[in-house]
Structure 1
Amino acid sequence: MKARPAIVYSVLRLLAFLVPFGLMMLSPVLREYYWLAAIFAALIGLSLSLLFLRRPLAEATSGLPEQRVRRTGARDDADAEDAASDALGDDTAR
């Protein structure tokens, strides 16, 4: 996984929260209830990221399976289960 897509995604997620929060803090009512503004900003940020940040999320997570295999040397789950059943001599799994 490259660091740049993950950083871009993280910054965009932070902006999706901070911009609505900052706009709501301009309101005198929500300035008094900052916790309510934070909840609303979190819900707005979640909605915005689900709608508009799919591609940056896909770019940030595209290399994770290959990186896991390289780091741990693990194979696919099905291959690992087959190897474990072969080691036990269990032919009922097939």
Structure 2
Amino acid sequence: MKKSAGLSFLLYSVLRLAAFLVPFGLLMLFPVFHDLWWLAAVFAALIGLSLSVLLLRRPLSDVSESLAERRERAQAPQRRTERELEDEAEDAANESATRDEG
């Protein structure tokens, strides 16, 4: 059973946030980072990015697929009208070409 788009997005967002907050909290336990909290944030961001690349591939692909499906559904009616306009232009060009020949 496939997850809904909102659930996939929420799960991925929570996991990415946890991948940053857990290392940040652990780094803030060291006394050296009490005054250099920004350095702890930078290290936590790098650790979180590494963890998300390694461990969150499936949630990211679920979110990407759901966004792609949503975009295709939104653009489907627009594509049909563009095709219809192109067909009408081709028909008009064909009719004018056959009139010029005859």
Q: TM-score, normalised by structure 1?
A: 0.74
Q: Find the counterpart in structure 1 of residue 98 from structure 2.
A: none
> 1:1-94 counterparts in 2 under 5 A?
2-73=5-76, 74-75=78-79
Q: Counterparts of 1:15 and 1:66 in 2: how far apart (Å)?
A: 27
Q: What percent identity do the matched residue pairs reach?
A: 54
Structure 1 contact 24–31 (Cα < 8 Å) conserved: no
The alignment covers a number of residue pairs equal to: 81
Moved more, 42-51 or 52-61: 52-61
TM norm structure 2: 0.69
Unaligned stretches of 5+ in structure 2? Answer: 94-102
Q: CA deviation at 1:62?
A: 1.2
**Counterpart of 1:46 in structure 2: which amino acid?**
L
Match of 1:92 in 2: none
Q: Helix, strand or coil for the counterpart of 1:32?
A: coil
Alignment check: 8 A CA contact 1:5 1:59 kept: yes
Equivalent position amino acid for 1:63 in 2: S
Gaps of 5+ in 1: 90-94
Hey, which of these two has a bigger chunk of helix by percent? 2
Q: State the AA in 1 paired with 2:12.
A: Y
What residue identity is the alignment partner of 2:14? V
